[in-house]
Chains A and B, each alone.
Chain A
């Protein structure tokens, strides 16, 4: 295990995540599994700490700008936290190959979203003064929370499009509200992993530090880097990760 390597993984995940508008979880968990050979539950726990760190850093800015819709976040989070607690508890007895399969499906979806343009767009905070389809939003939040608890991801790449396209929330508000929400969701399951003894600080601390630095720098340079090529490269990486996870699910790697 190399502290520098772990920090670099976190930095890369935070950097590209902030550029293309997704959290780092979909990169951190596979990175810890493939590059550092960490068992799945420990990788998920370390990733969750990274997700909380990213969320706290970005949500602090968005809250300061008043872009987070707090009442909406509170409503959606009731379902998301319930899902995260359920997912975090269920992760202890769900066979790893099922989790790998679920991860492959989620990463495949993320790759598709990335190929279609990521979830970043004009940071508009204006739009029709109406929130539609709260039921769909709450159901999606529960699902995103469950995925977060099981797989160590933030789920922003699923939440933001749903909040924007289905619930009618301006993209800037949806992204900011989601950034705040994923921290709450991830902390709910991170505590469960920690209490169960799955959180290894030797891995979580460098990754979280790297994520914090990477997302801070990524946010500053995001307007100056060619996102098209980054998106294409990340789509390729995510497709490889999906394949690797599916391969593990089918018994390619017994871990």
Chain B
């Protein structure tokens, strides 16, 4: 991974590191956290969709499932930002936080 925190130099520090050595296929703590998050979000959404389809009175459960599914990328960016900040990988943390802000801003603009 180009930005693995285990890499010498503290991960992908901008384009310099992206253009530099990139040991592919390295699993970091951020990978594990995001993987677990997406697994549970997918399961929760699937269960909610099933309930919604089986019984239309549970429509709000289906809506909540869609909310969980679509919110998973936002939460993923929050988790990534926090994890990278914990590892003092400020550039990656900043990018993840910027993406979170962009996702929230997009939803807000859609409402406006």
Contact = CB atoms under 8 A, between A and B. Distances in A.
Contact of A71 (B36, B46, B62, B92): B92
A74 B1 contact: no
A184 B106 contact: no
B35 A60 contact: yes
Given A52-B73, A196-B110, A71 B12 contact: yes
Contacts of B76: 184
Contact of B31 (A63, A82, A89): A63
DSSP majority for the A interface? Answer: helix
A14 interface: no
A244 interface: no
Contacts of B38: 56-57, 59-60, 63, 183
A8 to B, nearest CB: 13
Contacts of A122: none
B66 A199 contact: yes
Given A85-B105, A209-B50, A72 B70 contact: no
A71 B87 CA distance: 14
A173 B25 contact: yes
Q: How large is the interface on A (under 10, 10 to 19, 20 to 34, 35 or more residues)?
A: 35 or more
Of the listed residues B3, B17, B35, B105, the one surrounded by the most CB atoms of chain A closer than 10 A to its CB is B35
Contacts of A126: 24-25
Contact of A69 (B19, B24, B36): B24
Q: How large is the interface on B (under 10, 10 to 19, 20 to 34, 35 or more residues)?
A: 35 or more
A78 B39 contact: no
B83 to A, nearest CB: 10
Contact of B46 (A72, A132, A188, A209): A209
Given A125-B25, A194-B110, A201-B66, A81 B103 contact: yes
Interface of B: 1-3, 11-12, 15, 17-28, 30-32, 34-36, 38-39, 41-42, 45-46, 49-50, 52-53, 59, 62-63, 65-66, 69-74, 76-77, 80, 92, 95-96, 98-99, 102-103, 105-111
Interface of A: 3, 49, 52-53, 56-57, 59-61, 63-72, 74-75, 77-78, 81-82, 84-85, 88-89, 125-127, 129-132, 134, 170, 173, 183-184, 187-196, 199, 201, 204-206, 208-209, 212
27 contacts: A52-B69, A53-B46, A57-B42, A60-B36, A60-B39, A66-B1, A70-B80, A71-B18, A72-B3, A74-B99, A85-B109, A125-B25, A129-B21, A129-B23, A130-B19, A134-B19, A187-B72, A187-B73, A187-B103, A191-B110, A192-B106, A192-B107, A194-B110, A201-B63, A208-B69, A209-B49, A209-B53
